[in-house]
Structure 1
């Protein structure tokens, strides 16, 4: 699918971009430099509220499951796309270049790549081959506001 039709693809998938998440610090949600747009880290926020809190682990009660974190990573990616859309318009995306994801991990949890597949798979659904990207999946001790996952991305866009 060529650049310029991503909003139509979102509609085909039954997806809508959320409102841009208000920054919780002194930064901007997205910034364009030449033909690249970099997003700030996006949390799993809906309507201004963090949807999930805690560290990711397998089989432990009172923590975030890998499946919940996978869904949260998908939401983070949608929030990143909303930030890009507000900055330049989603239909100007040529390709997704890089995704970096952070997973608040309980001791011994090593499934960060599977969690971040939530974001990567969504980008593939929307952008097809243009959504294939380089990626890092990093386990961390804590994330802002107690979030289980945070995702940032870099996309190449058409320039005027």
Structure 2
């Protein structure tokens, strides 16, 4: 077990297997030293943890938790290519999409669920650039979707 996975385990977190794509794409793709993930939803055991729009059916806390879960799924997609999370040199960019009502403006607070997760387990390597974007709807009614750009060691 890698150091990152041991730290996750100590907090009671076990990364899932990478979700099978529901369309014509791959969960993650490596190009040189970078891994790009497809958008990851907050699935646990094949089910969305919550459904709905922020500012309506889902509150900021529920969105935050969903973003954290989606971040775990994105990390699992990275692991599917590296086999070892300790090979991550830097979480470079997090893009978070938040399904929300037109009047909802706390998208950054929601996506903090992902950002703080990476900071907690990767420290300085978890610091990243970020976008938190409000959208009208996401696949299957998900309240959030997270995608990553991660730099990995070049010798793998």
Band of TM-score, shorter chain = over 0.9
1:23 alignment counterpart: 21
Aligned residue in 1 for 2:149: 154
Q: Which runs of 4+ in 1 moved over 4 A?
A: none
SS of the aligned residue for 1:25 comes to coil
1:74 to 31, 56, 68: 68
- Whether the 8 Å contact between 1:99 and 1:152 is mirrored in structure 2 is yes
Residues 16-50 of structure 1: per-residue CA shift (max 9 Å, x gap): 11121111111111110000001000001111111
What runs of 5+ residues in structure 1 fail to find an aligned partner? none
Distance 1:22 1:114 in 2: 29
Q: What is the CA–CA distance in structure 1 between the aligned matches of 2:11 and 2:154, rounded to whole Å?
A: 27
Distance 1:125 1:111 in 2: 22
Contact 1:71 / 1:118 at 8 angstroms: preserved in 2? Answer: yes
Task: Give the TM-score of the pair, scaled to structure 2.
Answer: 0.94
Secondary structure of 1:31's aligned partner: strand
Q: How far apart in 2 are the matches of 1:145 and 1:92?
A: 33
Gaps of 5+ in 2: none
Conservation of the 8 A alpha-carbon contact between 1:19 and 1:47: no
Q: Distance in 1 between matches of 2:8 and 2:44?
A: 18
For residue 41 of structure 2, the aligned residue among 43, 54, 60 is 43
How many aligned positions are there? 153
Q: Say if 1:22 and 1:48, in contact at 8 Å, map to a contact too.
A: no
- Give the TM-score taking structure 1 as reference length: 0.91
